[in-house]
Chains A and B, each alone.
Chain A
């Protein structure tokens, strides 16, 4: 329990630090933040108005407390581009990205574990060769290009799936493969090497010498050990997947958080940038915390630590 509390505490520290850095973005960019908020071509008078209105004339600490307090109450500020409150839009986009990432990780874990385990058990076989080939290709192709190829083949040529949108469940298939491809490849490689390593352990010989059934040996003795590093990888991949979602979202014109962040970046919509980065950061921290806690459950050595 002590371990979990410690992780929770460090997670909170990370969120706090990230919030400070995110808050500072506007002050780090060259130029006057009030001018940024007022927009290009604003008159001196307007800039001054914005400065007072947004409290930019107050000390930084006061500004931070004001900003963070607002966020804690669900106020992420107003978009410079649309002049609308950010929160509802942000939640909507986040919801979409979360669904896509969740589908992607399910796809990646399902195929990754399967391919990884099979290729480890059939080490150096034809199946092993094929899955390793898929895996190295999977980590080498840019995911946005994977998406474009899938669209070219399955939407344009075959006409099986729509190339854009998120209105029906079929429209999720290509984006899911695209977003999950890279993680699938990494999980496959990780699973394979982890299972291979475990298979060489002395306790595997013990298990076989005990006369246990093959299934028990693999499922209980091998996988329970191999899962420890695999779970860490999967957790990290889920975070990475959400971060990389922007590429998939752009290819499939999918209204997600990543796309929203890129649009805000190009429009220099700083409140929106701050809000989306902070939200993504919190998601990573939460995911990492969950992974660490699972790790703790899986590895008995951690319980004493």
Chain B
């Protein structure tokens, strides 16, 4: 509770939470909020400017941009959650193995992780796409794999640091099993950096996948995904800038929300590295 109070006293973090709430509400109640189905095309009314009927106008296929953005929030939640589930869990598992057991296993795992870390996530993702193929599913898997190294690193250093505490030695002396020490003592106490990393991963996943969508390597241009919505907008920058503006704002606000929350959490939980 004290933690929550301190977090809420950070104005920027509160702003972040506010943005995230909007984002979550939009995705939760998408069918209620959206004015129409995004896949519905109105070919007589393409590239329309914002109006009462189409709050943010329509795109080059006459689809309602506002509805696309609302449904796009759903896609983004799906992206963030799946990347966190895949990448976060695998990364955490590797980090625990390396940090808790140390020794040779640690050395080999960290060598691989360090090598992967040297590459920017988007390039790793593109590399994975070369194997898996394009599409939203491929992009999610690719980005998940690309987030594994950083998670592993952070979890490992967190475990290593927490392990040095005397209460862990005390548990050893008391004869507790490795598993019990790990899950009862080390993980709960080393959670702070992992939480911060999870928040930042969520925003990074949205950014990278929107980038892949923009390049045509991610989500199908027909689907409601913010990056994909922008992929065709380039052609209309001269004449119809509203197509590019609204989905961009949606991405920026959502990512900003998670980044602000991440910063706030980092300060509140007093995490040094990220």
Contacts and interface: CB of A to CB of B under 8 A. Distances in A.
Complex A–B touching at CB under 8 A: yes
Contacts of B126: 246, 261-262, 265, 277
Contacts of A38: none
Interface stretch (B22-30, B158-166, B210-218): B210-218
Interface in A11-31: 14, 17-18, 25, 28-29
Interface residues of A, number: 42
A265 B256 CA distance: 30
B119 interface: yes
Contacts of B216: 262, 266
Interface stretch (A43-51, A116-124, A213-221, A281-289): A281-289
Task: Determine chain A's interface SS by DSSP, over half rule.
Answer: helix
Contacts of A102: none
Contacts, number: 115
A40 to B, nearest CB: 14
A265 B129 contact: yes
Given A14-B115, A14-B118, A163-B237, A243 B123 contact: yes
Interface in A138-155: 139-145, 148-149, 151-152
Interface stretch (B42-50, B70-78, B81-89, B244-252): B244-252
Contacts of B119: 239, 243, 281, 284
A265 to B, nearest CB: 6
B131 A28 contact: yes
A184 to B, nearest CB: 15
Contacts of B238: 156, 163
A140 B248 contact: no
Contact of B233 (A139, A140, A148, A239): A148
21 contacts: A18-B115, A25-B130, A25-B131, A29-B130, A136-B259, A139-B259, A142-B248, A145-B251, A148-B234, A151-B237, A163-B237, A239-B119, A243-B123, A247-B214, A250-B215, A262-B217, A265-B130, A265-B134, A277-B126, A280-B123, A288-B118
